[in-house]
Amino acid sequence: MRSLIYIFSFLLILQWAYAKNFEKDTARIKRLMHTFDEQISKIRPFIVSDEKFISAEGGRAVGQSIKILNAETKKWSSEELEAVPGFRVTFRLLRDHFEKTNALYKNGEYEYARLMLNSVPNYCVTCHTQLPEKSKTYEFIDGSGKKARTLDDSEFLFITRRFDRALEGYDELIKNFPKGSLRAEHLPLVYRRKLAIFARVKRDPDLAIRSLRNDLQNKELPVDTKNNIEAWVSYFEAWKASKDDPEKMSDSKLLEYAEKNMLDSDGRKIAPADPRAVTYLRISGLLYERIAKRKDDTLAPNMLYYLGISEKNIGSLYWYSLGDIYFTECITKYPHRTITKKCYKAYESSVLARYKTEGAIPAETKDSLKSYRKYL
């Protein structure tokens, strides 16, 4: 049921993005934020277990909240979304998903609705970790003020952007491993979250080095985990020592830096423990920030291309991969350019890679690819 927390808490970022670009409408933002907080509080008692979720009371509460939030997301106009290219991509997906999920609830297809909800969590995380953000200081929405004691607690704090508190929770789980509640199979998830906080949210190599070295004090960690930690520490040390600071680069220089550091010659995805994930997280976060904050979109399609490349490498490891979405956004919003052809080639390669032979490609997939060629 952790996915339900992700879905509703994802909506908290909507008020942030909107406030950044439409500062005059603060009253509306406050009302929207209040609605999200209220709905999260209502469903929280029913998402702690499967039994409570499928109960009659839980079903009514969750269904009503989805209905309300589905209505809220529809209030955002196309003009408002068009003003924020990066935000437009993820919000459009979320709005469509809520509409379908709400329809399933109304039709009583609860099992299918739960499947829909379970498909949402990772691309929610994608949006929440794209931009640097000061950690929220408020406590659990239910007012308990409790500390994170379980992985679910830390995940809830992470998704609601209380990153400092989430990091404390992850660190405590690692400190108490293996005697605590954290299982070995969850270690990769915990470290994916920590790396995202260090490289994307905080952009702080010193914090990363201190935290990761502290983790190494636990001699009970698996050998492969300790080896990965040491590799990550080395990468953050190289980041700290480097004279190149991509955050201060111009857009064109940042794109050159991305091309130099992000493309793999063999085209294969990097492994989950590959320390280069730090670089991908860092650069893709910077690219997304440029797209989200700048009105001049001259280089936006180039940034979408490299965001797509990044997502194809690490997206499936860290969250729902938006690689294909970035490529198609580049193709349809910025047609008839040199970069458009590169985006199409990357998208086509991604789609065709899902099938073993050309004969296995469905007709509708071929038609879809053909429809994009008119933009080249």
Q: In tens digits, what is the pLDDT along the chain, a chain of 376 residues? A: 455 444 444 444 444 444 444 444 445 545 655 666 677 667 666 655 556 667 888 788 888 887 887 787 777 665 555 555 555 556 666 677 677 777 877 777 666 666 565 555 444 545 555 555 554 444 444 444 567 788 888 887 887 678 898 999 999 999 999 999 999 999 998 998 999 999 988 999 999 999 999 999 999 999 999 999 999 999 999 999 999 999 999 999 999 999 998 865 444 566 656 778 888 889 988 998 888 777 678 899 999 999 999 888 876 554 456 788 889 889 999 999 999 999 999 999 888 887 878 788 888 888 989 999 999 9
**How many Å from the N-terminal Cα to the C-terminal Cα in the chain?**
43
Domain co-membership, 85 together with 34: yes
Tokens of 33: 């934020």
Domain co-membership, 265 together with 161: no
**Which residues are within 8 A (CB) of 319 and not within 5 positions of it... i.e. 6 or more apart?**
121, 122, 123, 124, 125, 126, 129
Angle at 351 between CA 348 and CA 356, to 5 degrees: 115
Contact 208, 191 (CB under 8 A): no
Task: Give residue 123's pLDDT.
Answer: 46
Write down which residue in 242, 260, 278 finishes a domain: 242
Contact 85, 300 (CB under 8 A): yes
Domain co-membership, 115 together with 137: no
Task: Give residue 17's pLDDT.
Answer: 44
How many domains does one find in the chain? 3
Cα distance between residue 270 and residue 277, in whole Å: 8
Domain co-membership, 266 together with 166: no
Contact 192, 200 (CB under 8 A): no
| Ramachandran quadrant class, 145 (left: phi over 0; alpha: psi -120 to 50; beta: rest) | left
Domain co-membership, 303 together with 337: yes
Domain co-membership, 328 together with 254: yes
Task: Give residue 92's pLDDT.
Answer: 66
Domain co-membership, 19 together with 77: yes
Task: Give residue 214's pLDDT.
Answer: 98
How many residues comprise the chain? 376
* pTM for the whole structure: 0.71
Contact 160, 138 (CB under 8 A): no
Cα distance between residue 329 and residue 309, in whole Å: 13
Cα distance between residue 96 and residue 61, in whole Å: 21
Domain co-membership, 212 together with 319: no
Domain co-membership, 116 together with 60: yes
Domain co-membership, 113 together with 86: yes
Domain membership of residue 257 as a residue range: 246-375
Write down which residue in 188, 216, 242 finishes a domain: 242
Domain co-membership, 207 together with 322: no
Cα distance between residue 80 and residue 98, in whole Å: 19
Write down which residue in 91, 107, 122 finishes a domain: 122
Cα distance between residue 123 and residue 186, in whole Å: 19
Domain co-membership, 180 together with 271: no
